[in-house]
Structure 1
Amino acid sequence: MPTIRAARFADLDVRTLHDLLRLRVDVFVVEQECPYPEIDGRDTEPATEHLWVDADGVVAACVRTLVDGDGTRRLGRVATHRDHRGQGYAAALVEEGLRRLGDGPVEIGAQAHLEGWYSRLGFRRSGEDYLEDGIPHLPMTRG
């Protein structure tokens, strides 16, 4: 039975950290052929929380919550392993991330081809398209 887990960077065990990073590489670099994924350094911030779906000991999907210095709340790095797609894991993680961030607006930099998916979760476009790591994105906000 899949379980949602959460931890701050300092509380992640080495194996889980490896598996979270491996999932991102598999999804963003291997599948999407992103030649230079952005490493923004935000994973280690004390307020950043990592959430993942543990499916029988496997990190099947992940997301992270962030709070900027100005108080802006964000979700990011949403990824699901190809073998676990279509089971609602990413949507459950986004909803849990929103719950953990509390009431008020939450921003996300969504891959452009996923605009409809994020719209179904209550996000709305909040600006112009842009490229991140060579992949078309758009800003979206919920709340």
Structure 2
Amino acid sequence: MSGIAYEVDVRSLDELSPRDLYAMLKMRLDVFVVEQKCAFPEMDGKDPEALHLRLLAGKELLASTRIIAPSGHDDPAYIGRVVVSPDHRGKRLGDKLMAESIAACERLFPDRPIALSAQSHLEKFYASFGFDTVSDEYLEDDIPHVDMLRPVPRASA
């Protein structure tokens, strides 16, 4: 694992400072729209109700995810907008980001599965965190994706 020191910060949109919100949205736009050449509505209306998990080194944003609470009694929590700053790739931050995001979901929404929509080329990455593919491949914003689900961990006997 990388020796990069980071802090984990989980906040609602209203709890982010304007500068922190700007940094997060800029990173998402730089990666999802510009780098991936995907013109789609990044601002999809889900951010105001979500929690935003960020990995920070001081004030510098290293990576972030969006966590959406389960909408119904049997629904999963949802991790989305998984992004690592291009300046910090290759430092295993994606692994740390997913581990922290899963831990946050398990703490905030115990006994709930966790769902995500994975770009198909990252299916093995997410599988390494216990996610199972639960759909056929489909196009989302012209990028192949699959739905994945991480079941609730079984209690030790």
Same-fold call, TM > 0.5?
yes
Q: Distance in 2 between matches of 1:12 and 1:92?
A: 21
Whichever residue aligns with residue 137 of structure 1, its letter is H
User: Which blocks of at least 5 consecutive residues in structure 2 are unaligned?
Assistant: 152-157
Runs of 4+ in 1 over 4 A off after TM superposition: none
Contact 1:60 1:84 in 2 (8 A): yes
Cα distance in structure 1, aligned partners of 2:43 and 2:145: 16
Alignment of 1:98-113 (within 5 A): 98-102=102-106, 103-113=111-121
TM value normalised by structure 1: 0.90
- Structure of greater Rg: 2
- Name the count of aligned residue pairs: 141
Does structure 2 conserve the Cα–Cα contact (< 8 Å) formed by 1:28 and 1:37?
Answer: no
Question: 2: CA distance between counterparts of 1:105 and 1:127?
Answer: 16
Tell me if structure 2 keeps the 8 A contact 1:37–1:133: no
Shift of 1:38: 4.1
Within a 5 Å distance, the mapping from 1:24-43 to structure 2 comes to 24-43=28-47
SS of 2:94 mapped into structure 1: helix
Quote the residue 1:54 is aligned against: 56
What is the CA–CA distance in structure 2 between the aligned matches of 1:120 and 1:27, rounded to whole Å?
A: 23
Matched, 1:2 2:17: no
- Report the residue type matching 2:16 in the other structure: L
Instruction: Give the fraction of aligned pairs with identical amino acids, expressed as a percent.
Output: 37
Deviation readout 1:99-118 (Å, 9 max, x if unpaired): 22223310000011101111
TM-score for the superposition, normalised by structure 2? 0.83
Alpha-carbon distance in structure 2 between the residues aligned to 1:38 and 1:17: 14
| Contact 2:29-2:42 within 8 A present in 1 as well | no
CA distance in structure 2 between the partners assigned to 1:84 and 1:43 by the alignment: 24
CA–CA distance in 1 between the matches of 2:145 and 2:42? Answer: 13
C-alpha distance in 1 between matches for 2:6 and 2:101: 17
RMSD: 1.5
Select which of 84, 89, 98 maps to 1:80: 84
Is residue 91 from structure 1 mapped to residue 99 from structure 2 by the alignment?
A: no
Cα drift, residue 93 of structure 1: 2.2
